[in-house]
Structure 1
Amino acid sequence: MRVIVADDEALLRQGLTALLATTDIDVVATVGDGRSLTRAVDTLHPDAVLVDIKMPPTHTDEGIRAALDIRRRHPDTGVLVLSHYLDSRYAMRLIETREGSVGYLLKERVSDLAVLVEALHRIADGESVVDPTIVARLINRRPRSPIQRLSEREREILALMAEGQSNARIGARLFLSPRTVEAHIGHIFGKLDLAPSDDYHRRVLAVLAYLRGVTPPVQDETRA
């Protein structure tokens, strides 16, 4: 698996490269700003990129802008955003661009190499990964319509769906049978008024409805 690492902190770039070198992941380039990242992706066509949200020159949201640009221009390239900041709005901006192949993790997760490597493989396989800390904070907020239609168990399952967990993993976490998990997810789709269609598509829409229900909207300034 070929990956590009983008972060303005040289020590972090070097550390990530050294850590990933002990796995099956090949770091084909490291860059320190958003423009260099997009050029590297255009040239090297990696399987995935690791990118920080705040990079030069303004250290605001250059990383997320670069990530969104990569999603538009290279839809087969997975994007995993790493951030010091717990802000679910950034995760939403990524998830809303296209189904799957995106992720948002807090940088503290980097200390657990297995978590980082698993996230990279999952987004390369077309899944979406949202940091459990973000999901935990969201689930502890008072839900708004239409999420308020869901039962406590259904919200718990939807939170795990937001993390990108499969039905099998949800069942294992909550000690539920596969059939029970499927039944709960069916109820979630129904209560959120998601008409029958491709199940993966409905999972993405359900997660977006969940995140929108507890997070203020963010204007996509990349279109300005």
Structure 2
Amino acid sequence: MSVRIVIAEDSLLVREGVRRLLDLQEDFRVVAACADLPELLAAVDEHGPDVVVTDIRMPPGFADEGIAAAIRLRSSHPGVGVVVLSQYAEPAYATPLLAGGSAGRAYLLKERVSEPRSLVEAVRAVAAGGSVIDPAVVEALVADSIHARSSPLATLTGRERDVLAHIAQGKSNAAVGAALFLTERAVEKHINALFAKLGLGPEPDTNRRVMAVLLYLSARSGDASTR
């Protein structure tokens, strides 16, 4: 049985290049080639492919349509494998793709298209329910994980992070409590706990709040710079 494939890529040259490469395989059959997300979803409904090979960015938004399609297909067409082609070795893209499980999912850098064997093997792997992650993406995921664990913010509980996020907006304890449905006393306990975990202490509370907010904003800036 042939592996039935739908391609989604807004660049005509890349789309046709991928189509020709896959059509050279005797056990592959490209059943549709699409230029945007709506066309891709319609083609999957119409043709019921085994695998989708999609660009990560395409119309209408040129954001993360390939990832969005993979997430949607996991529930609407769980038997369809997805190979995402991207220029970016970014955890911000790879993590949501793999959040529901890596089975039937591949994330390759577009430069691999120039290595026909890599793309062909990735299609075969996801068609069989396996997964393939580009080595550069794996390195980025590991580095991101190490960075997250090394940050002092990693020691905070989810509720303490919520409290700190509201403090960073300049809210008083009473306002934080109202936003999170906590008593002012509970907010104070969370703040004292996060001060201790962040090593802020025994300075005046005003100074500790400022330092905590600076740590929070620095961490967020570092996360954004890696995307």
TM-score, normalised on structure 1? 0.61
| Greater helix proportion | 2
1:135 match: 138
2:21 corresponds in structure 1 to 19
Bigger RCO (CA 8 Å, 6+ sep): 1
When the two structures are aligned, how many residues end up with a matched partner?
Answer: 150
Change (3 A) 1:99 1:111: closer
Shift of 1:139: 4.1
Contact 1:91 1:103 survives alignment (8 Å): no
Distance 1:32 1:145, change over 3 A: closer
Supply the distance in 1 between the matched residues of 2:52 and 2:103 (Cα, whole angstroms).
Answer: 14
Look up the match of 2:56.
Answer: 53
What is the DSSP-based 3-state SS (H/G/I as helix, E as strand, rest coil) of the residue aligned with 1:143?
A: helix
Larger radius of gyration: 2
Structure 2 counterpart of 1:67: 70
Cα distance 1:137–1:87, how it changes in 2: closer, same or farther (>3 A)?
closer
The question of 1:4 aligning with 2:16 is answered: no
Q: CA deviation at 1:63?
A: 2.1
- 1:41-84 CA-to-partner distances (Å, cap 9, x unmatched) read 01111110001111112211122212211121000000110011
- TM-score, normalised by the number of residues in structure 2: 0.61
Alignment correspondent of 1:115: 118
- Which runs of 5 or more residues in structure 1 are unaligned? 148-214, 218-224
**Mapped pair 1:44 → 2:56:** no
**Mean CA deviation greater in 47-56 or 82-91:** 82-91
Deviation at 1:34, TM superposition (A): 0.6
1:141 shift after superposition: 6.3
Q: Percent identity?
A: 42
Deviation at 1:99, TM superposition (A): 4.7
Stretches of structure 2 lacking an aligned partner (at least 5 in a row): 151-221
Q: Partner residue of 1:82? A: 85
Pair 145,111 (structure 1): closer, same or farther in 2 beyond 3 Å: closer
Aligned 8 A contact 2:106 2:122 in 1: yes
| Residues 1:18 and 1:134: Cα distance change in structure 2 (over 3 Å) | same
Contact kept, 8 Å, 2:84 with 2:108, in 1: the verdict is: yes
Deviation at 1:89, TM superposition (A): 2.2
Q: 1:41 to 1:146 in 2, by over 3 A?
A: same
C-alpha contact (below 8 Å) 1:95/1:128 kept by paired residues:
no
Q: Is the 8 A contact 1:71 1:98 kept in 2?
A: no
